[in-house]
A and B are shown apart, each in its own frame.
Chain A
Amino acid sequence: MEHGDGDADAASAAGNSGTTDSLEERLRVASLNAVHNSDIQFPAAFEYMEPPKTNATDIRPYLKTAEDEDRALTSHSSTTPPLSKPSSSQVPSTSGFFEHSSSDAEMDRKLRQNKPRLLLMGQRRSGKSSITSVVFHKMPPQETLFLESTTQIQKDSMRSFMDFQVWDFPGQLDYFDPTFDTTEIFSEIGALVWVIDAQDDYTDSLNRLTTTILNLQTTFPHINVEVFIHKIDSLNEEFRSDIYQDIVQRVGDELSDAGYINPNVSYHLTSIYDYSIFEAFSKVIQKLIPQLDTLENLLNILVNSCGMAKAYLFDIWSKIYVASDTRPIDMEVYEMCSDYIDVIVDITDIYGYNRNHEKVLGEQMQEAESSVTIHDGTMIYLKEMNQYLCLVTVIKNDEAKDKKGLIDYNCHIFQDALNAVFARAWEKDKPNENGEQEEQQPDKTPAQAQAEGQLEG
């Protein structure tokens, strides 16, 4: 990958090669978390994040850096010709509002060691490349018309709060051809995204989908299969739900005929011309985050104590949301929050230049923060959490809006908790982390008590 600390990554990778962190293992831990979350307060749940045990027989070591991956791929390329060398993907180096201090680098390094893979598959011309271009390369949707058809596997590395790879597969490849190393392709993936063109005849696509699921089911049963019913923009509401029903029904029937009950398959209606594709990708990514339950829990607490209507934790660069509170999602609010990030990114782009003068009028918080009150009194509040993530919340309660100081304070506590959650998952060998964690807990309680007290009053 094109980031400067590649060497450091490689070094750390070599150092850590003993602790294998397979997806299976992480999912197991995640489900453990989920169980414990239900009755224990959130920071405590992380006591269960033990260093994963290695089960040497069936787990492959995680490839730690892009260099490792390239090496692994090139070593394979003699036997599996279609696995081409990865296309160089240019990812902007700074995804946050500004470059950050070196203290972030340490955490950054820890987050980096983990790289789930998303596979995009489907019939040719179903819209796979368009999806990656729009979501991960910020291409305007109308320009995707000019995309050439994909002939080689396109690999994109996303450098964000958690690294993940997106592999865009050419539609015409047959993955289960014996010359393909299916283990190589499927072993580390977090999710398989199957794209279906809803405007076309999708019988073939469904057949291939069920074959793929059945093939995978025996060897890699943990893979999430996400079916994107794509290009729904030109279909009317009724037709959409018909197609949705039809596809769910047919795939379900096929799989149960083959004896596979309760498959791990979810369906999303998507289009690159609106927010549905971001929404769907958010859902896909969320399933790969082991800390999701904790994050949701944290957001719920925040939302309740600050009188917010909704809170999202967004990845700044891709505008995918990592977590939100568990209230029902309102598409309208989501659009306003998502677009608001654009506003802030653009404004900081214009005024965030390096000034020649050092004029400062007083003290100020490190993190960028912004709010807008629109004509009907709704307030949208954004706060930068770290280099990659920002919190965007919607506040409709009139009383809550006046309590700006309180909201700031609570968001700050949330930020601490968030960074602790992300840091702890990887940092297991530092004993003093325990102490810090406990310090935060009492901090939080008065804030909430205060918040609740004030909101009631």
Chain B
Amino acid sequence: MDTRKRKKKVLLMGKSGSGKSSMRSIIFSNYVAKDVRRLGATIDVEHSHAKFMGNLTLNLWDCGGQDAFMDSYLNAQRENVFSDAEVLIYVFDIESRSVDQDLETYSQVIKALKEYSPTAHIFCLIHKMDLVQTEHRERIYEERCKLIAARSEGLSLETFASSIWDQTLYKAWAGIVHKMIPNLVVIERFLQAFAKQLSAEEIVLFERSTFLTVTNVVTEYGEDNPHPDRHERISNIFKTYKHTVARNTRTTAASAGFLLFKVQTQRFNCFLARFTENTYIFVVVPPGEAAFNCAVLNTLMARDVFAKKTGVEG
């Protein structure tokens, strides 16, 4: 694989103040939700790189959303901005008062994208959902999705409801990242076989610094879990605890981490361990102390094979 291909260009767009930079800071720069108030407005385009799983690097283009900038992206910088994009993430503010105008801008962006990168994946995040009353969320979200789909030029897109204050943010981003991982099939096949070996209920692979779910496999033992949002919740739990640890060991959140985390209860056992350089593996197995300890050791031993088989070096 040549390096240019590995770097995936991700466009992050949306109206000014819709929360693009806030999201990016929380996911990729270890901000906590309440700290994003300090962020200023993004001027023009801010580039950043996020290394993911060793052989996937995201090249994030955080595009400031003020009208003047938007204008320049769509005209003067059109080719520069929209060519070679792999992913467009468009953020809508649910509280926005000028929905029609937002949709108009969106539709222009889509046209530009269609012109220069017709194969790009499109994700729309309906953001700041926490500001909507819980009982209306579903309905308002559905309505907004329909409006957006109508303006998407027939391109396929995925929509997510998100908020930086709960795990929906992780759900949205995990969905986005999941789409971009190379050789995902190989990884999943490996995990499937491994889960069978361990009689595990479930295996989840998390990215190390962002704690986003890379992928997961569920076996017959784990398929009756009543919590469909469990991966996002686990991401959230560990990331929160990572912040506590960082605060109390006087390190930065980026360098804090876990070597091994184990829980044994009457109903289930689970552990989280460093897997490759950039991933954590989270394994849930049925109770049984000896089997659990074996599972931990086997996982640590499976690291090398995993790297070799899947080509995820580091």
For chain A residues 184-236, which have a beta carbon within 8 Å of chain B? none
User: B251–A372 contact, CB under 8 A?
Assistant: no
A350 to B220, CA, bound (A): 17
Given known contacts A333-B248, A350-B227, A373-B258, A362 and B288 CB-to-CB distance under 8 angstroms? yes
Q: Which residue of B lies closest to A348 (CB)?
A: B265
| Min CB–CB distance A284 → chain B (angstroms) | 24
For A371-386 the 0/1 string (1 means CB < 8 A from B) is 1111111100000000
Q: Which residue of B lies closest to A381 (CB)?
A: B262
Given known contacts A336-B248, A361-B292, A348 and B263 CB-to-CB distance under 8 angstroms? yes
Q: Which residue of A lies closest to B285 (CB)?
A: A361
Given known contacts A357-B221, A372-B260, A366 and B237 CB-to-CB distance under 8 angstroms? no
Given known contacts A372-B258, A375-B256, A332 and B249 CB-to-CB distance under 8 angstroms? yes
Question: Contacts of B199 on A, CB cut-off 8 Å?
Answer: 359, 361
For chain A residues 376-402, which have a beta carbon within 8 Å of chain B? 376-378
For chain A residues 46-81, which have a beta carbon within 8 Å of chain B? none
A377 to B247, CA, bound (A): 16
User: A98–B264 contact, CB under 8 A?
Assistant: no
Q: Which of B5-13, B52-60, B75-83, B266-274 contacts A (4 or more CB under 8 A)?
A: B266-274
Classify the secondary structure of B's interface with A.
mixed
User: B267–A355 contact, CB under 8 A?
Assistant: yes
User: A365–B289 contact, CB under 8 A?
Assistant: yes
Given known contacts A336-B248, A375-B259, A350 and B230 CB-to-CB distance under 8 angstroms? yes
User: B263–A347 contact, CB under 8 A?
Assistant: yes
A6 on interface, CB distance cutoff 8 Å: no
A368 on interface, CB distance cutoff 8 Å: yes
Q: Which of A8-16, A245-253, A338-346, A445-453 contacts B (4 or more CB under 8 A)?
A: A338-346
| Min CB–CB distance A57 → chain B (angstroms) | 51
Contact of A351 among B248, B249, B284, B292 (CB under 8 A): B284
Question: Contacts of B256 on A, CB cut-off 8 Å?
Answer: 374-375
Question: Contacts of B240 on A, CB cut-off 8 Å?
Answer: 339, 342
| Min CB–CB distance A104 → chain B (angstroms) | 13
Q: Which residue of B lies closest to A335 (CB)?
A: B248
Given known contacts A343-B237, A351-B270, A375-B258, A368 and B265 CB-to-CB distance under 8 angstroms? yes
Given known contacts A346-B233, A362-B291, A332 and B263 CB-to-CB distance under 8 angstroms? no
User: A346–B265 contact, CB under 8 A?
Assistant: no
Question: Contacts of B225 on A, CB cut-off 8 Å?
Answer: 350-351, 353
| Min CB–CB distance B164 → chain A (angstroms) | 15
User: B265–A361 contact, CB under 8 A?
Assistant: no
A456 on interface, CB distance cutoff 8 Å: no
Question: Contacts of B289 on A, CB cut-off 8 Å?
Answer: 362-365
User: A352–B237 contact, CB under 8 A?
Assistant: no
Question: Contacts of A353 on B, CB cut-off 8 Å?
Answer: 224-227, 267
Q: Which residue of A lies closest to B238 (CB)?
A: A343
| Min CB–CB distance A311 → chain B (angstroms) | 17
Question: Contacts of A364 on B, CB cut-off 8 Å?
Answer: 264, 266, 269, 287-289, 292
B286 on interface, CB distance cutoff 8 Å: yes
* Interface residue tally for chain A (C-beta within 8 Å): 41
| Min CB–CB distance B302 → chain A (angstroms) | 18
Question: Contacts of B227 on A, CB cut-off 8 Å?
Answer: 350, 353
A369 on interface, CB distance cutoff 8 Å: yes
Contact of A361 among B258, B270, B284, B286 (CB under 8 A): B286
Given known contacts A361-B287, A361-B291, A362-B290, A340 and B237 CB-to-CB distance under 8 angstroms? no
Contact of A335 among B237, B247, B270 (CB under 8 A): B247
A371 to B272, CA, bound (A): 11
Question: Contacts of B255 on A, CB cut-off 8 Å?
Answer: 375
Question: Contacts of B249 on A, CB cut-off 8 Å?
Answer: 332, 374-376, 378
User: A374–B267 contact, CB under 8 A?
Assistant: no
A167 to B241, CA, bound (A): 33
Given known contacts A361-B285, A361-B286, A98 and B265 CB-to-CB distance under 8 angstroms? yes
User: B257–A374 contact, CB under 8 A?
Assistant: yes
A356 to B267, CA, bound (A): 11
Question: Contacts of A147 on B, CB cut-off 8 Å?
Answer: none
| Among A359, A366, A377, residue most surrounded by chain B Cβ atoms (within 10 Å) | A359
A370 on interface, CB distance cutoff 8 Å: yes
For B267-306 the 0/1 string (1 means CB < 8 A from A) is 1111000000000000011111111100000000000000
User: B267–A351 contact, CB under 8 A?
Assistant: yes
A360 to B240, CA, bound (A): 31
For A411-439 the 0/1 string (1 means CB < 8 A from B) is 00000000000000000000000000000
Contact of A336 among B244, B267, B290 (CB under 8 A): B244
B234 on interface, CB distance cutoff 8 Å: yes
A359 to B255, CA, bound (A): 38
User: A352–B268 contact, CB under 8 A?
Assistant: yes
A161 on interface, CB distance cutoff 8 Å: no
A38 to B256, CA, bound (A): 42
A373 to B268, CA, bound (A): 20
User: A371–B226 contact, CB under 8 A?
Assistant: no
Given known contacts A347-B270, A376-B249, A340 and B224 CB-to-CB distance under 8 angstroms? no
Q: Which residue of B lies closest to A351 (CB)?
A: B268
A359 to B292, CA, bound (A): 13
A357 to B223, CA, bound (A): 10
Question: Contacts of A350 on B, CB cut-off 8 Å?
Answer: 225, 227, 230, 233-234
Question: Contacts of B290 on A, CB cut-off 8 Å?
Answer: 361-363
Question: Contacts of B291 on A, CB cut-off 8 Å?
Answer: 361-362
A97 on interface, CB distance cutoff 8 Å: yes
A292 to B55, CA, bound (A): 56
| Min CB–CB distance A253 → chain B (angstroms) | 39
User: A369–B267 contact, CB under 8 A?
Assistant: no
For chain A residues 83-104, which have a beta carbon within 8 Å of chain B? 97-98
Closest 5 CB pairs between A and B?
A: A361-B288, A362-B288, A361-B291, A332-B248, A368-B265
The interface of chain B, by Cβ under 8 A from chain A, is 199, 220-221, 224-227, 230, 233-234, 237-238, 240-241, 244-245, 247-249, 251, 255-270, 284-292
List 10 contacting pairs A-B, 8 Å CB cutoff, sorted by A.
A336-B244, A347-B234, A355-B267, A361-B199, A361-B285, A361-B290, A361-B292, A374-B249, A374-B257, A377-B259
Task: Other than A342-B241, A361-B290, give 15 A-B pairs with Cβ distance below 8 A.
Answer: A98-B266, A332-B249, A333-B248, A335-B244, A342-B240, A346-B237, A347-B234, A350-B230, A351-B267, A351-B268, A357-B221, A359-B199, A361-B288, A361-B291, A364-B292
